[in-house]
Chain A
């Protein structure tokens, strides 16, 4: 069973607030990812990390930022939330170094609503 956690599970917040979505994994995985899932279910990669001090933007442009100062922790921050940020955010991690293929393990997600 994969051990990857996200908090909060649900968040309702007003426009203009700063928020941080937490993601932690206890598997020692080097690679971590953030996906945005729209109401139509489609998943979009917004950030990923190879390891500590590595962050890259994904396929979908996002106003959010991420940091990776510890292997197990990959928080996502929105400096000023807007209604367009309303979505489900999924964190994932995978093992492996180099170019091998390793499946990704997902957290339960954070459902964000910005009013």
Chain B
């Protein structure tokens, strides 16, 4: 079945460091890919998405490129801030039985940014 694998955390960085969180997927067909972020005590928020190969999603300085040849969707940010500390989830869309669309999430990667 379809699945998402994320790098294990926690990832600990100093402010202004470069961030990469790896995400690879297994899927049949052509899923859409998403990054969600969860700040402490809150629900998930959509950070960015890409719907087809070579698309680049971007938001708030974060970027991820849909790489079909490597089945990857790595999240990057050039200079992280303390306020970026959160849990990041990679997800792909999956078409269930009856045409239902659901998301398959990775296990999440906790990011801690220190001043």
Chain A residues packing against B (C-beta within 8 Å): 4, 6, 31, 33, 40-43, 45, 48, 50, 56, 58, 90, 92, 94, 96, 98-109
Query: Cβ of B107 and Cβ of A41 under 8 Å apart?
Result: yes
Main SS at interface, chain B:
strand
Query: Cβ of A43 and Cβ of B89 under 8 Å apart?
Result: yes
- A-B contacts, 20 of them at CB < 8 A, read A4-B43, A41-B107, A41-B108, A43-B44, A43-B108, A45-B103, A48-B100, A90-B43, A90-B44, A98-B99, A99-B101, A101-B101, A103-B46, A103-B49, A104-B46, A104-B103, A106-B43, A106-B44, A106-B45, A109-B42
Q: Given the complex, which residues of B lie within 8 Å of A33, measured CB to CB?
A: 102
Chain B residues packing against A (C-beta within 8 Å): 32, 34, 36, 38, 41-46, 49, 51, 87, 89, 93, 95, 99-103, 105, 107-108, 110
Report the separation of the CA atoms of residues A92 and B38 in the bound assembly, to the nearest whole angstrom: 13
**Nearest B residue to A88, CB-CB:** B43
**Interchain Cβ contacts within 8 Å, total number:** 57
**Nearest A residue to B46, CB-CB:** A103
Main SS at interface, chain A:
loop
Report the separation of the CA atoms of residues A8 and B52 in the bound assembly, to the nearest whole angstrom: 38
Contacts beyond the supplied A96-B101, A99-B95: 17 A-B pairs with Cβ under 8 Å: A41-B38, A41-B108, A42-B107, A42-B108, A50-B100, A58-B102, A92-B43, A92-B44, A98-B99, A100-B101, A101-B32, A102-B101, A103-B49, A106-B43, A106-B44, A108-B42, A109-B43
Report the separation of the CA atoms of residues A58 and B99 in the bound assembly, to the nearest whole angstrom: 14
Closest 8 CB pairs of A and B: A106-B43, A41-B108, A106-B44, A101-B32, A99-B99, A43-B105, A101-B93, A108-B43
